Amino acid sequence: MPLHPALAQIDLVVFDKDGTLISFEAMWAGWARRLGARLETATRRPVAGDVFAAIGFDPVGDRVLPGGPLAIDTMAAIEERIASVIRRWCPSVPAARRALAEAWFEPDPVDLAVPLADLGEIFGALRAGGKAIAVATTDNRESTEATLAALRLAPEVATILCGDDDGPTKPAPGAFVAICERVGIEVRRSAMVGDTPADLRMARQAGAGLAVGVLSGVGGAVDLTPDADLVVASVGALLVD
């Protein structure tokens, strides 16, 4: 299938991971709930509500808030936010540290990686069209590499930039620039595809040639439209009939 016409002048497509390539809810909503329950067990206190508020998770709507920490922060930053909450509930800092260490876990990057489209077809079409591919995520490198390998996408990806890498990380504009420099493609001939306003603002501020919002993750049309050149249902729309 041919590529979307908006990609005609683009040589590099940078994808966000969670909410763009794979389901955000499958990876993170269940994790947030389980972590809240584990923290309540470890602290013996009703901390889950405060934890959810601190990371931007709505347990009633079972959704992640588009501009919240869980949508845009690194794992290290999220863990520190949760640690701050637990310190307020525990009688001492050592007790808070023990409780967090007992409860903390990260989601399985393979079992919970649910593709939002036929990613093999999309990546194959991009590569056949002469486009380079990169992934920019706030998730950790080990998890990201495991997900891409499990989905058999790793050989198609020129570079990835992760939340625990040295240097600027998403959503800093410098992170997008760094990706383009690694691949050797001008920023103005690069596109960002993501599900949060932070993804799109990063691209805008970096001088990207195209910012594509996808409605498959945490951001809705009202969130994405102000910073997007194009808003589509999912990455599957990058291919057209």
Tell me the residue length of the chain.
241
Angle between helix axes 75-89 and 93-103 (nearest 10 degrees) is 130
Tokens 């994808």 belong to residue? 15
Task: Give pLDDT, residue 241.
Answer: 79
State what percent of residues in the chain have pLDDT above 90. Answer: 97
Structure tokens at 221: 């049309």
Q: How confident is the model at residue 1 (pLDDT cuts 50, 70, 90)?
A: confident
Tokens 């439209």 belong to residue? 225
For range 78-84, the mean pLDDT? 97
Tokens 């489209």 belong to residue? 117
Res 110 pLDDT > 90: yes
The overall average pLDDT reported for the chain is 96
Q: Which residues pair with 231 in a beta bridge?
A: 213
Tokens 């590529």 belong to residue? 3
For the stretch 220-229, contacts whose Cβ atoms lie closer than 8 Å and that sit 24 or more positions apart, written own/partner, are 220/66, 223/66, 223/67, 223/196, 223/197, 224/195, 224/196, 224/197, 224/200, 226/197, 227/197, 227/200, 227/201, 227/203, 228/200, 229/6
Tell me the whole-structure pTM to 2 decimals.
0.93
Tokens 């997008």 belong to residue? 176
In angstroms, the Cα distances linking 112 to 147, 212, 238 are 9, 25, 24
Domain boundaries, the chain: 5-22+113-238, 25-103
For range 51-65, the mean pLDDT? 94
Pick the CATH number of 5-22+113-238 from 3.40.50.720, 3.30.310.80, 3.40.50.1000, 3.30.565.10: 3.40.50.1000
pLDDT in tens, 182-224: 999 999 999 999 999 999 999 999 999 999 999 999 999 999 9
